[in-house]
Amino acid sequence: MSVCPTGSKEPLLEQRIPATYLALEECVTSLAADLREPVLKHDEYRKLVTQYMQQKNHRMFRDAAELHQATMFLHENGVLLHYDDATLKELYFLRPQWLCDVLAHVVTVREINPFANNGDEASSLGVSLLNKFELALCWDSRLLLVPPLLPHAEPQHHQLPVRSRSWCSSNRGTPRRAWPAQLTPLPESRGTESPTLIQEPWHKLSVSGRGGRALRRLLLLSYVPCGFWPRLCARLLADQQLAEAPYTLYKLPPEMELDETISKALELSWGWKLWRSGARVCAGGVTMLSLRELPPRRDALLPGPADDEPGDDVYHNVRFRIRQEGTWCELDVQSSACVEIYLPAQVCVIRRDDGLPIAGYQSISLEPHHETLAKVLALVSDHVDLLLEDWYPSLGTRFVHTSEGRCLITRVVPCPDCLRPQQHPPEHDPQLAQAFRRLELGPAEPRRLRLSEESRTSDGDSGVGAESNASSRLGSVEGIGATDHQSYTIATAWTVEQCILAACTSTRLHCAAHAQAHQLRAVAPDTLLLDVEESKRARWEHISRGAVAGRGAFGTVLAATWRAPAAGAINVALKALQPVPPPASSDAAAHHAYKAALSRWEREPTAAACRAYCGLRQELSILSQLKHQHVSENVLVWKMPKPGEDLTTGPLNVHVKLGDYGISRLAPPSGTKGFGGTEGFMAPEIMRYNGEEEYNEKVDCFSYGMLLYEIVTVRQPFEGHEAVKEAVLDGARPSLSPRDLEYPCSILETMRRCWSGAPELRPSAAALVSVAAAPEYAALADAAAARHAAAAAAQPVIGVNEEGIPGWELWYGGGEPERAHTLLTTATNFTHHHTIRVPPDKAEPVMVTAMCRVGNKMWLGDSAGRISVYSLFLVTSKRPEAEGSFVLTELGTATELCCLAAVPSPHGWEVWAGGAGLSSYAVGAGGVCAADVLAPEPRVTLMAAPEDQPFVMVYYDPGVCVYQWSVGCKQQCARLDCSKLVPCSESLQSIALDEHLTEDKCRVTALCALRGELYIGTAWGCVIVADATSLRPLTVFRPYEEDVRVIIPLHPHKEEDPPMIATFGHGYRPLLQRYAPHSSTSTNTHNGYYCLLWQTQHWLPD
């Protein structure tokens, strides 16, 4: 006997191993011995392997594919570990034993794991590993569920409290304990030391549960997959809506809410009981929810008696009679794996232990809130269905049948009357039992053979015996199996699909055993959407339909009006998942689409209704947890509209409402699976593995990047491309034209980072929210590297480029001797950069110290005391030359002059001068006509004056305040303390918690006034935007690592155009890098001087 690979005759044990594979094994062994933590990322692994092979003169790998093949060979032989997993494919574990030790500590050591390092990267790695091997599942950002530590059977006491975001406050605002406090005995005078729930000085109350009309749901499966219960428990623990449900289950009548004693009695300590095959939410003797697995007790394919062990549940010896595919059949719960969802709906009974009445009553009985029960049932059912669909698609996909014609999972709603304890005839009389079973089944009716039974009548020409275990003639588990002589009870049940169709057609469910009809709200309230708040449910007669607004794969959207009883008419977008006839005035296409949809619905009504219901359920689960102003709040349900787009026509006034969450779902922290989306918007990790491998919320970040592309370019991603999937997987991305690149650079950088191929390079959803809310997100037009600047000025110009687009010419200098520089810019980006030589003074190099625009000339002051006048420098081959130097008049006898500001006055102009002190000079046609010394000290270094306001902004050095002086009264009238302001658009990764704002960091380095706003630059790199009239700060952000050197106003070419500013500073800090750096070791700053172009409107959010 020889072992050969598939399709080959060469023995597997005699194949030669390539020398490069053996060399790689030697390399891995050497690296594992040298590294303290033998874990390498892909790039580092490839680099170290290449270096080792070169040093040892081994044969090199031809390409990355051969290296990957050799790595997988070593993985299969246990030399190293490398998983082709969406979350772990970048990691190489060179020492498998090290990984085993790390994972073993999770389930054996309850103290701090010594193998774990500090840092987000190590934490993420550990969680991914634990989730990969199902040793620990994350249910929120701080807590892990460790399945190996769960007990095998249901524990006597709950292990975890039910906590929600509002668990600490009751409906009336009284504090609520998360965990029961230590029980204390009664006072000695009472003569007892028994623990009590509520301690009162005169009496105590007890709370108990009494049987109610329970809600049950069963899922019959071929088997319960491994890992199902831990993942389900992790999802249930993370659901905040489920955590809030116990505290709204019972409500006191209004006349008893003021009784503090009774209210405290209802503050039950709800907790979770978790074990390896179930979960329960309870508080003492009151149970809200129970989930458990009922393992099969007999094999339907192997005839024989059932397990002799007596059953401890209501399904012992019970067979359900249901109708599938138009025929009646029996389901044996004991012969298939079963998952039970049970809500006992107990009546809460409050009574005094001493037997005396309470508020005039012997006891108080509170019925459970039906809306809460329906919500819990809907939440748990959705969690179970989504888990089975995402993680076990071969088992849990809905509406998929086997070759025998049965569903992969049968979802059953039992008749509550059939499961009640009844008096049955003695089991020792089989003839009497058979007669009773005939009565229960009712009159005989012709039954069509199912596919699984038709195979029994074949002639056996397949070559397989009729009684063979491999024969297809054996009935399915859910069909009519071999009968035994043991007595059993027949109970009526309905499939969930039947209930959904009944809800859609407004029919009732009939029980053949009891000859009565059941209301859906009593057995399956979630199919009627009774878990949705009453204010968000609309009756069909309150809706007036309009014209068709659009059609899609999942329904038709119509314009409609909702006339709510307590409000006026509201315009809504109505999405009809069930075929709805269009108005008579609609076009022929609308009527044709309606007839086609109605034909599909009539042909397969159950499947059509279930698909519509499942899509609506997924959408509601998302909308119920979204809290945003752009998400529509008026959700109308069943006949089944959803929030859509409310677009108001007009070039600027566009009001957008987000909608269409049909395939959206909440992903648990440990990740999810599933395939769905639109080509071009779907992340590569979903397409590469067809949704069968785990992924996280970063797939939505990829789609968000493509959405930004569509907004920027007004084009679909990969529009007109035939092989979109292959292009995305190969790393191709949609093209951008030069016009597309004119959008704000932060938006373009966010788009580029979001569509990265590696999920770890994309920003998180929280980072995207923070970035989009930052004031500089849409304000920063462009960034360009520049030279050092000590002085700068700007001049509007026409025709910056060949298209004649208006812009500005920025002049700056002071960082280099004999050099001045110009930057040409439009309103969206920088275009050209030029350098001008400043002539020396008697062979001595000079530095530019000041700049000013006068008319269409640029005046430059240098360190030699000269003023040079230049013409405007546009894109020409002619270099500007100085036109001369001169002095107009002498302002005064100040010993130092640092800054000037000119403001209009009734008699001409006033020139305010800062230096050793603060002075003002009245300038008329003949020169200086008056002078005032406003403040002889301290030293004034910066000054700015708004064009349309009678104020001058002054900064005294040293200091952290900007002062406002009135031009009319020559007095100081306002002050802004910059040390009290901190930047708003920062994350914990970009700013330290112990950062101290010293006076040196808050020192003002630049001032600019423009259109009623004051812009202040500080030594810490902050830009402060304040109202020029009141000095009220509007926003603060920090685009530079070091000081802001210059702020230049860019006056608009037209009065209606918004103004702009340009800033010069050292160390540019991109906005996205502050929230989502490329890696933990990368810096968030671009070194060197940068010029930033800003749009000055909309500093504050709307």
- CA torsion 306-312-315-317 (nearest 10°) is 30
Among candidate residues 802, 850, 801, the one with its CA nearest the CA of residue 829:
801
Helix locations, 741-788, DSSP H: 745-754, 765-773
pLDDT in tens, 1-26: 455 666 666 666 667 788 899 999 99
Q: What pLDDT does 12 receive?
A: 62
The pLDDT of residue 905 is 79
Which residues, including other chains, have CB under 8 Å from residue 914's CB and lie 6 or more apart? 897, 898, 899, 900, 901, 940, 941, 942, 943, 954
Extents of the domains making up the chain: 16-133, 780-886+973-1095
Quick one: average pLDDT of 578-596? 78
Which residue type does 552 have? G
| Poorest-pLDDT segment among 10-24, 170-184, 579-593, 967-981 | 170-184
pLDDT at residue 516 tops 80: no
- Selection from 112-121, 429-438, 478-487, 1006-1015 with the highest mean pLDDT: 1006-1015
**Band (468; pLDDT cuts 50, 70, 90):** very low
CATH number of 16-133: 1.10.10
Instruction: Answer yes or no: are the C-beta atoms of 203 and 354 closer than 8 Å.
Output: yes
Q: Strand, helix or coil at 973?
A: strand
Residue 510: its pLDDT value, please? 85
Going by C-alpha positions, the residue among 784, 788, 832, 829 that lies closest to residue 812 is 788
State how beta strands 215-221 and 410-414 pair: antiparallel
Structure confidence at residue 114 (pLDDT): 45
Whether the predicted pLDDT of 504 surpasses 50: yes
Contact by Cβ (8 Å): 941, 931: no
pLDDT at residue 853, as a whole number:
83
Average pLDDT score over residue span 54-76: 89
Burial status of residue 656 (CB atoms within 10 A of its CB: 0-12, 13-18, 19 or more): exposed
CB 413 within 8 A of CB 493: yes
Quickly tell me which residue has 């520089």 as its tokens: 821
Q: What is the average per-residue pLDDT within 653-679?
A: 69
Percent of the chain surpassing pLDDT 90: 19
| Contact status, residue 1065 vs residue 1078, Cβ threshold 8 Å | no
Given a cut of 60, whether residue 826 has pLDDT beyond it is yes
Percentage of residues in the chain with pLDDT exceeding 70? 75
Cα 1056 to chain centroid distance, Å, stands at 40
- Between 421 and 462, name the one with better pLDDT: 421
Find which of 51-60, 345-354, 635-644 is predicted with most confidence, using mean pLDDT. Answer: 51-60
Beta bridge partners of 939: 957
Give the predicted TM-score (pTM) of the model.
0.71
Q: What is the pLDDT of residues 1039-1098, one digit of tens each?
A: 999 999 999 999 888 888 888 999 999 999 999 998 888 765 556 678 889 999 999 877
d(CA 457, CA 1048): 92
- Inform me whether the pLDDT recorded for 112 exceeds 70: no
Beta pairing partners, 997? none
Cα separation, 1086 vs 1072, in Å, equals: 13
B/e letters for 148-163, b = 16+ CB within 10 Å, e = fewer, are eebeeeeeeebebebb
What's the pLDDT tens digit per position in 877-902?
334 454 444 444 455 555 677 888 88
Average pLDDT over residues 328-348: 86
**Which residues are paired to 1027 by β-bridges?**
1013
Question: Among 1059, 967, 962, which Cα is nearest to 1018's?
Answer: 962
- Which residue has better confidence, 426 or 981? 981
What is the DSSP code string of 547-589?
A: EEEEEETTEEEEEEEEE-TTS-EEEEEEEESS--PPPTTS-HH
Highest mean pLDDT among 197-206, 609-618, 781-790: 781-790
Cα–Cα distance, 724 to 252 (Å, whole number): 59
CA 1026 to mean position of chain CA atoms: 34
b/e 358-370 (16+ beta carbons within 10 angstroms → b): beeeeebebebeb
Sheet containing 1033-1037: give its strands across. 1004-1010, 1013-1018, 1023-1027, 1033-1037
Q: What is the DSSP string of 425-490?
A: --TT-HHHHHHHHHHHH-S----PPPHHHHGGGS--TTSS-TT-TT-TTSPPTTS-----SS--EE
Q: How confident is the model at residue 632 (pLDDT cuts 50, 70, 90)?
A: very low
DSSP 844: B
pLDDT in tens, 934-960: 887 788 899 999 887 889 999 998 899
Which residues, 6 or more positions from 476, have their beta carbon under 8 angstroms from its beta carbon?
300, 402, 404, 406, 452
Per-residue pLDDT tens for 221-264?
Answer: 888 888 899 889 988 988 888 988 998 898 887 777 666 777 77
